[in-house]
Amino acid sequence: MEKIFGLIDAPFTPFTATGEVNLEPIPAYAALLARNDMKGVFINGSSGEGYMLTEEERMQLAEAWVKAVPEGFKVIVHVGSTCVMSSKRLAAHAQKIGAWGIGAMATPFPKIGRIEELVKYCEEIASGAPNLPFYYYHIPAFNGAFLSMLDFLKAVDGRIPNFAGIKYTFESLYEYNRCRRYANGKFDMLHGQDETILPCLAMGGAQGGIGGTTNYNGKCLSEIITAWQAGDFERARELQEFSQDVIDVICHYRGNIVGGKRIMKLIGLDLGPNRVPFQNMTDEEEEAMKKELEAINFFERCNK
């Protein structure tokens, strides 16, 4: 099964001022990401507020992204939900419209606490789109599924024919590397934490990843990989430290989903507010965040 090289972006969902899904910015959004060396998008996930979208809205977004992206740009659709039947419908829809792949994080309710529960959940969803690669999105901070991913790979191996790998958004580089080495690198291990791309390249042999701050800082993050591959370790380290500076700023403003989405407005692509229960940034917070970003010369280095 094809593996992903380079970075896939996890885009925000554009909303109107009244909270309706807004498809209008997506062509410009896709062009921005492609211009800044992204290789695709992983839509309707955590950055996209996927669990707060209706099934119809998620399908509309998938159709809009598939239609908007340039040739060769991968569209992976997050189809996870608390209802596995809904997930299967979303998966089948993604396959029908020509998406490149699908993925799902563990449902936040009921909490998944055993490997077999997770394998069965993924098996049901993946069967909805048997011709597309399926990625499990490991982000236990969101759903409490603090399970061994190595044990998960062993259990899923040979059971789900279209299982492609894991989007690994967790802090254990040791476990990441064990998963990457499993069965001589059989599965695609996509790095999922923008703040640790460089150590994952060095220790984990990462080749691809899915990020959230890539929306506005993708050029810098992609250059980390380029510098590493060229053997320019000092340049790679400087780029990683800058990306951490950016993350430090958004952490002052409720993280990537809230603060990061407002940065898109500051770089010229207004994607609207967040949905309840997220607490949107005030104009005063936006101005304060802008000053913090200016202090690290962000606007000279960000996506354009």
For the question of residue 3 being annotated catalytic, the response is: no
Maximum C-alpha span of the chain: 53
Q: Measuring CA to CA, which residue among 74, 157, 257 is closest to residue 136?
A: 157
Report if residue 255 sits inside a domain. no
Report if residue 182 sits inside a domain. yes
Structural domain of residue 209, as residue ranges?
6-234
Candidates 51, 167, 168, 261; catalytic one = 167
Write a three-state SS string for 179-238: HHHHHHCCCEEEECCHHHHHHHHHHHCCCEEEECCHHHHHHHHHHHHHHHHCCCHHHHHH
Report if residue 273 sits inside a domain. no
CATH number at residue 108: 3.20.20.70
Report if residue 301 sits inside a domain. no
Query: What pLDDT, on a 0 to 100 scale, did the predictor assign at position 55?
Result: 98
Query: What pLDDT, on a 0 to 100 scale, did the predictor assign at position 274?
Result: 97
Report if residue 151 sits inside a domain. yes
Query: What pLDDT, on a 0 to 100 scale, did the predictor assign at position 203?
Result: 79
Report if residue 291 sits inside a domain. no
Report if residue 250 sits inside a domain. no
The 3-state DSSP class for residue 77 equals strand
Where helices occur in the chain by DSSP H, the ranges are 26-35, 55-68, 84-97, 115-126, 140-143, 149-156, 173-181, 197-204, 214-229, 233-251, 255, 261-266, 283-295
Query: What pLDDT, on a 0 to 100 scale, did the predictor assign at position 123?
Result: 98
Q: 208 - beta bridge partners? A: 6
Give, for all 304 residues of the chain, the pLDDT tens digit: 899 999 999 999 999 999 999 999 999 999 999 999 999 999 999 999 999 999 999 999 999 999 999 999 999 999 999 999 999 999 999 999 999 999 999 999 999 999 999 999 999 999 999 999 999 999 999 999 999 999 999 999 999 999 999 999 999 999 999 999 999 999 999 999 999 999 989 877 788 999 999 999 999 999 999 999 999 999 999 999 999 999 999 999 999 999 999 999 999 999 999 999 999 999 999 999 999 999 999 999 999 9
For the question of residue 137 being annotated catalytic, the response is: yes
Candidates 51, 137, 176, 253; catalytic one = 137
Report if residue 266 sits inside a domain. no
Number of domains composing the chain = 1
